[in-house]
C-alpha cells in the first residue's frame, strides 16, 4: 500500500511523493521540516474566489466513490485530487481539523465542549470583516448542543462549530449556525460549511436506498452486485446531484464560488484515502491533482485565498493547494 508524505526539505507547495505506507497513530499530521507560510496576508479577500462552499460527506473509500457515475462526472467537470487523505478515524476529529486546524485531543466521536479562547476559521474571517455560516440539515436551531435531535437524521458531531464555547455560548456568533432550510445559493457567506443529514451524507442507509442502488447498478455496464456502488453512496449521490446542480448551473454563483466536495474519512482504506473535488469557474475542468494533500491543506488554502493568516496550528505547517488546480489567470 502507499501513503502520501511531504518531501523533506521541499520548498514547493504540493511537492510531495508517495512512499510505502507505514501505520500512523491518531494524531496531527507531522512533517520532517516545518513549512512556512508561502505569502503574507497582504491582498484583498477573494484572491481566487469570493465564496467557498464546503460539503462534507461520510465514510467512503476513494476507489468506491469513483465507481459512482455522478461523482465520476464531477471529477470530469472539476479538479480531482488523486492523493488526498483524511486525517483520523473516526469522523469527529476530522470535522474539528477542517475548521480548527487541530483535533483538540479527541480520538473518539463524542462531541466536546471546547472551552476558553480556542479559535477556528470563524475568528480569522471575522477579524477581516468576512462572513461565515454553518448550514446543518435536521438541526433544530437555537444553538442546540444536544447530540441528536429531530429523530435519527441529526448528529451534533457533524456540525463542528457547535463544539466551541466561543461560538455556541455567544448568541451573536451562534446565529451563524443555521438549519439548512436557510441555504440560499445566491446569498452565500464568504465561508459556508454544509452538513447534510445522516441519510444525505451517506452515513446511514435510509428508505428505499437498496432499490435505488439496484437501478443505478443496472445502468452501469459490466456492474456486479452491490460492490460497484454501495447503497449509502448511491443514496448520497442522488441527494448531492439535486443539491449541487442548481449551484453549478447558476453562472452568477459559480463564477466566484469554489465548491469543495470531500469526505470526512475513508471506510476501510488504511491510508484514509478519500475523494475530494474542487468545482467552479476558477478551477481547471478535468484536472487531476497528484500532489499529496489533506484536510489541513484544504483549510490552509481557504485561509490563503482570503488573506486570513493562520490559526497557528497544523494549518500553519500545511501547504495551500496551488499546483494544477486553478485556471491560469488565478495562479
The tens digit of pLDDT for each residue in 86-125 reads: 999 999 999 999 999 999 999 999 999 999 999 999 999 9
User: What architecture does CATH give domain 47-330?
Assistant: 3-Layer(aba) Sandwich (3.40)
What is the pLDDT at residue 228?
Answer: 72
State in Å, rounded, how far the first CA of the chain is from the last one: 33
Q: Count each helix (H run) and each strand (E run) in the chain, helices first.
A: 10, 10
Question: Which band of pLDDT confidence, cut at 50, 70 and 90, is reported for residue 28?
Answer: very low
* pLDDT bracket for residue 265 (50, 70, 90): very high
Beta bridge partners of 51: 257
Contact 279, 23 (CB under 8 A): no
d(CA 82, CA 105): 29
Residue 326 pLDDT level (bands cut at 50, 70, 90): very high
Residue 257 parent element (H or E): strand 257-263
Examine the pLDDT at 13 and tell me if it is beyond 70. Answer: no
Q: Which helix (H) or strand (E) holds 95?
A: helix 92-100
Domain boundary assignment for the chain:
47-330
Element (H, E) at 3: strand 2-6
Average pLDDT over residues 299-317: 98
Bridge-based pairing of strands 2-6 and 16-20 is: antiparallel
Q: Picking from 18-27, 104-113, 222-231, 248-257, which range would have the lowest pLDDT averaged per residue?
A: 18-27
Q: For 317-328, what is the mean pLDDT?
A: 93
Whether the pLDDT of residue 35 is over 50: the answer is no
Q: Give the separation between CA 38 and CA 303, rounded to whole angstroms.
A: 12
Q: Are strands 257-263 and 277-279 parallel, antiparallel or unpaired?
A: antiparallel
Q: Is 303:101 a contact under the CB 8 Å cutoff?
A: no
Predicted local confidence at residue 216, as pLDDT? 54
Helix spans in 128-267 (H): 165-168, 171-174, 209-218, 231-248, 251-254
Query: How far is Cα 272 from Cα 95, in angstroms, rounded to an integer?
Result: 14
For residue 220, what pLDDT band results from cuts at 50, 70 and 90?
low
What percent of the chain stands above pLDDT 70?
79
| Concatenated DSSP letters of 198-228 | TTTTSSS--TTHHHHHHHHHHTSTT--TTTS
Q: Are 317 and 294 in contact (CB under 8 A)?
A: no
Report the alpha-carbon distance of residue 8 to residue 5 in Å, rounded. Answer: 9
Residue 39 above 90 pLDDT?
A: no
User: Left, alpha or beta for 14 (phi > 0: left; psi -120 to 50: alpha)?
Assistant: left
Residue closest to 290 by CA, chosen among 9, 8, 14 = 14
DSSP-derived 3-state class of residue 51:
strand
pLDDT for the residue numbered 126: 98
Residue 93, pLDDT score: 98
pLDDT > 50? residue 21: no
pLDDT tens-digit series, residues 250-260 = 999 999 999 99
Least confident interval from 43-52, 113-122, 264-273: 43-52
- Residues 3-21 have a mean pLDDT of 37
Of 214 and 46, which is predicted with more confidence? 46
- Please determine, for residue 159, whether its predicted confidence score (pLDDT) is greater than 50: yes
Question: Is residue 35 packed enough to be buried (19+ CB in 10 Å), middle (13-18) or exposed (0-12)?
Answer: middle
Cell numbers of 225, please?
Answer: 452486485
**pTM (2 decimals)?**
0.83
Q: What is the mean pLDDT of the segment spanning 144-166?
A: 92
Strands 132-136, 177-179: pairing kind: parallel
Round to whole Å and give the CA distance between 60 and 264. Answer: 9
Q: Is the pLDDT of residue 24 over 70?
A: no
Residue found under cell 499530521: 29
326 alpha-carbon distance from chain centroid: 18
- pLDDT given at position 308: 98
- Examine the pLDDT at 218 and tell me if it is beyond 90: no
Amino acid at each position: 500500500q502507499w501513503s502520501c508524505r511531504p518531501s523533506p526539505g521541499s520548498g514547493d507547495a504540493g511537492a510531495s511523493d508517495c512512499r510505502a505506507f507505514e501505520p500512523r497513530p491518531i494524531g496531527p499530521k507531522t512533517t520532517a521540516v516545518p513549512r512556512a507560510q508561502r505569502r503574507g496576508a497582504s491582498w484583498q479577500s477573494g484572491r481566487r474566489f469570493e465564496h467557498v462552499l464546503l460539503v462534507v460527506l461520510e465514510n467512503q473509500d476513494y476507489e468506491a466513490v469513483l465507481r459512482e457515475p455522478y461523482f465520476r462526472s464531477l471529477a470530469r467537470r472539476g479538479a480531482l485530487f488523486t492523493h488526498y487523505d483524511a486525517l483520523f478515524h473516526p469522523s469527529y476529529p476530522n470535522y474539528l481539523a477542517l475548521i480548527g486546524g487541530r483535533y483538540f485531543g479527541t480520538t473518539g466521536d463524542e462531541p466536546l465542549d471546547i472551552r476558553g479562547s480556542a479559535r477556528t476559521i470563524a475568528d480569522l474571517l471575522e477579524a477581516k470583516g468576512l462572513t461565515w455560516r454553518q448550514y446543518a440539515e435536521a438541526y433544530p436551531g437555537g444553538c442546540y448542543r444536544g447530540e441528536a435531535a429531530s429523530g435519527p437524521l441529526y448528529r451534533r458531531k457533524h456540525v463542528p462549530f457547535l463544539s466551541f464555547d466561543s461560538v455556541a455560548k455567544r448568541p451573536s456568533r451562534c446565529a451563524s449556525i443555521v438549519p439548512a432550510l436557510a441555504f440560499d445559493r445566491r446569498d452565500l457567506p464568504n465561508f459556508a460549511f454544509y452538513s447534510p443529514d445522516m441519510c444525505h451524507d451517506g452515513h446511514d442507509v435510509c428508505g428505499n436506498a437498496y432499490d435505488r442502488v439496484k437501478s443505478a447498478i443496472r445502468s452501469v455496464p459490466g456492474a456486479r452486485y452491490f460492490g460497484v456502488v454501495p447503497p449509502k453512496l448511491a443514496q448520497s449521490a442522488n441527494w448531492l446531484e439535486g443539491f449541487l446542480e442548481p449551484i453549478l448551473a447558476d453562472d452568477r454563483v459559480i463564477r466566484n464560488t469554489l465548491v469543495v466536495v470531500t469526505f470526512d474519512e475513508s471506510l476501510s482504506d488504511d491510508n484514509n484515502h478519500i475523494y475530494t473535488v474542487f468545482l467552479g469557474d476558477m478551477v481547471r475542468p478535468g484536472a487531476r491533482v497528484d500532489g499529496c494533500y489533506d484536510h489541513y491543506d484544504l483549510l490552509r488554502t481557504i485561509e490563503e485565498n482570503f488573506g486570513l493568516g493562520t490559526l497557528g496550528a497544523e494549518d500553519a505547517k500545511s501547504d495551500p493547494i496551488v499546483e494544477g488546480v486553478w485556471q491560469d489567470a488565478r495562479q
